[in-house]
Amino acid sequence: MSTEAYPIEIEFPNIAEHAHSETGIDYVHTFDSGRPGPHVMINALTHGNEVCGAIVVDALLRLRLRPRRGRLTLSFANVAAYARFDPSQPDKSRYVDGDFNRVWTPALLDDLSRRSTELDRARAMRPVIDTVDLLLDLHSMHEKSEPLIVAGPLEKGVDLALALGTPATVIRDEGHPEGRRMRDYEGFGDTGSPKNALLIECGQHWEKRAVAVARDCAARFLILSGVIDEADLPPGWLAPLPRRMTVVQVTQPVVAKNMDFRFAGDYTGLETFAKAGTVIGWSDGEAVVTPYDDCMLVMPSLRQLRPGVTVVRLGRVEARVDRN
């Protein structure tokens, strides 16, 4: 697998003018329609180098989009990491001290003896996120792969993904051993709560297509939630829906033991291997093989390789849903 940097095809927005917020939390903007409806949040920059979501949230703020019903929050999360972006080392600005998307365990957030840039930011955003009913977290990927929806482990997440209708691949998973994601925080990950969340992996971090995917998904999420009408968005935001959606159940992560990990091919994601026992890589000199037939690779990458990091997840097709 190549670790050369991909070309940067998009311009990074200057988000500094969005710093001041009526919520009292920098870069987090909430607008209330005064009418009944859900509190819907579109979040960008969970990771500082995942710029497609920032482009979309920046555009929505510049459009002065306001909800017709309920409340709408538009936010930039890890702005400290974003500010560190260096085109010569584009993968270095994923985070400052630790992954912002691995700190969303209430016990960790409550433990004020633990401090980091990402923990402090999560604690600052937490009061708003505690009131959100529907969250869309816009991400992108290390490798140039087809976009996908991360729906979490629960049926309600898969149902919301299918209702959204795009991207075509829905990943059902338990998250990462390193820590809990924002999309799994509290009610989002509780079967007894009506709250729900999706995470969209829109494409490779710096490709133009990822911006189009993020724009389409954000528009559809807002319309689906009912906080806006389609006419409230500029023409061209919506793209055609895929004719089929595929739900993939992640069965297990492959976690690096140390820095001695390599893949058997130049994998970028969604590769499927017909036979169990196929060698897909080596970890500390031992072969890593597919555990069952028709095994799919979900987001393989060595760009953040270190001991304990998930380098790929293995998935089994659970369902295929054709659009009528």
pLDDT at 3: 63
Residue 304: the pLDDT is: 83
Q: Quick one: pLDDT at residue 148?
A: 97
* pLDDT, tens digit, 9 for 90 and up, residues 75-122: 999 999 999 999 888 888 999 999 999 999 999 999 999 999 999 999
Query: CB neighbours of 240 closer than 8 A, spacing ≥ 6?
Result: none
The SS3 of residue 112 is coil
CATH 3.40.50.2000 holds for 16-244: no
pLDDT digit string, tens, across residues 38-79: 999 999 999 999 999 999 999 999 999 999 999 999 999 999
CATH level 3 topology of 250-322? OB fold (Dihydrolipoamide Acetyltransferase, E2P) (2.40.50)
pLDDT at 177 over 80: no
Q: Which residue has the tokens 């630790």?
A: 98
DSSP β-ladder status, 310-322 and 295-298 = antiparallel
Q: pLDDT tens, 267-287?
A: 999 999 999 999 999 999 999
Question: Residue 308's pLDDT band (boundaries 50, 70, 90)?
Answer: confident
Q: Which amino acid is at 159?
A: D
Query: Which of 65, 64, 46, 45 is closest to 55 using CA atoms?
Result: 45
Q: Lay out the sheet containing 272-273: strands in order across.
A: 28-32, 71-76, 39-44, 134-141, 196-204, 148-150, 169-172, 244-255, 310-322, 295-298, 272-273
What residue ranges do the domains of the chain occupy? 16-244, 250-322
Q: pLDDT class for 1, splitting at 50, 70, 90?
A: low
Residue closest to 322 by CA, chosen among 248, 240, 247, 245: 245
